[in-house]
Amino acid sequence: MSVEETHENGSASAEVAARVERRWATIAVIIIVAMALLAAFAGIHRATMPQPRVETTDPSRIHLSGEFVESNLGSVLEANGNVTVRAIGQQYSFTPACIVVPVDTPITLRATSADVVHGILVQGTNINTMLVPGYVSEQLMRFTRTGDYLMPCQEFCSFGHEGMWGKVRVIDKTEFADRAKGGGRLSCVGQ
């Protein structure tokens, strides 16, 4: 084999390599673009959107006035048939410890933290949000079956974190409407 031939073989193989590389790079780019488009499509057309707005609240005053005073925590049936749930997390419990909501109803959860960072996760659903002190978390939810769901704090909040388990009780729509007749805020207590 002459030197020239080797050189020719070399450049031919380099060309093959370059072609295969280009092909692979194209495939990789297509995969990524497709993923981004899927995310964009799902983000625009489907639910489960991250919270769009940033709202603040002063944790040292939430017990005294405003939306998160104790008497305003729990579930309330709005005039349009939707339900709003207000809750706070603190070391090491949620208030209310058990949230009661109707099935098949649009629900808005509004929650914040009274001290450190906590998290709300409802097992068996994709309801999952952080509670950061100073900020209000808002999450839309809707339950399709009745029953009790566990609601652990999913973020480390110091030594009692492992004991911070709340509950969500999903009940029948008419039963909820009955209980809501008297006005006021509902929780599982007294049920």
Partner 1 sequence: MLANRKLILAHFWLAFGVFGVALTLGAWQMFIRSPIGTWLSNPELYYRSLTAHGTVMGYVFPTLVAMGFGYAISESALEQRLVGVRWAWTGFWLIVIGSIMAVIPIALGRASVLYTFYPPLIGNVFYYLGVVLVVVGSWIWVALMSINLRVWRKAHPGAPVPLAMFANVAGSYLWAWTAVGAALELLLQIIPVAAGLKNTIDAGLARVFFSWTLHAIVYFWLVPTYIAYYTLVPRAIGGRIYSDTMARISFILFLVVAMPIGMHHTFADPQVGAGFKFIHSAFTALVALPTLLTVFTICASIEIAARLRGGRGLFGWIRALPWDNPMLLALAFSFVMLGFGGAGGLINMSYQLDASIHNTQWITGHFHLIFGGAIVIMYFAIAYDLWPHLTGRELIDVRLIRTQLWLWFIGMIVTTFPWHWVGILGMPRRMAYFDFGDPAIAPQALSVTFSAIGGFILLTSGILFLVVLARGMRAPQADAGPYRFALAVHQPTTVPVALNTYALWVALMIGLTLTNYGYPIVTLALTEGTSVPAVYVGAQ
Stretch that binds Cu ion, among 51-59, 142-150, 164-172, 179-187 (CB under 5 A): 164-172
93 burial class (0-12, 13-18, 19+ CB within 10 angstroms)?
Answer: middle
Site membership for partner 1, residue 136 (CB under 8 A)? yes
Task: Return the half-sphere exposure (C-beta side, CA atoms, 13 A cut-off) of residue 108.
Answer: 12
Q: How many residues does the chain have?
A: 191
Q: Output the smallest distance, CB 94 to Cu ion, in A.
A: 8
Site membership for partner 1, residue 63 (CB under 8 A)? no
Could you count the other beta carbons within 10 Å of the beta carbon of residue 95? Answer: 18
C-beta of 44 vs 79, nearer to partner 1: 44
Residues from 72 through 111 that contact partner 1 (CB under 8 A): 91
Site membership for Cu ion, residue 87 (CB under 5 A)? no
Could you count the other beta carbons within 10 Å of the beta carbon of residue 36? Answer: 10
Give 80's contacts (C-beta < 8 A, 6+ positions apart): none
State the residues that interact with partner 1 by CB under 8 A. 10, 13-14, 17, 20-21, 24-25, 27-29, 31-32, 35-36, 39-40, 42-43, 46, 48-56, 58-60, 91, 112, 115-117, 119, 121-124, 126-138, 148, 150, 152-162
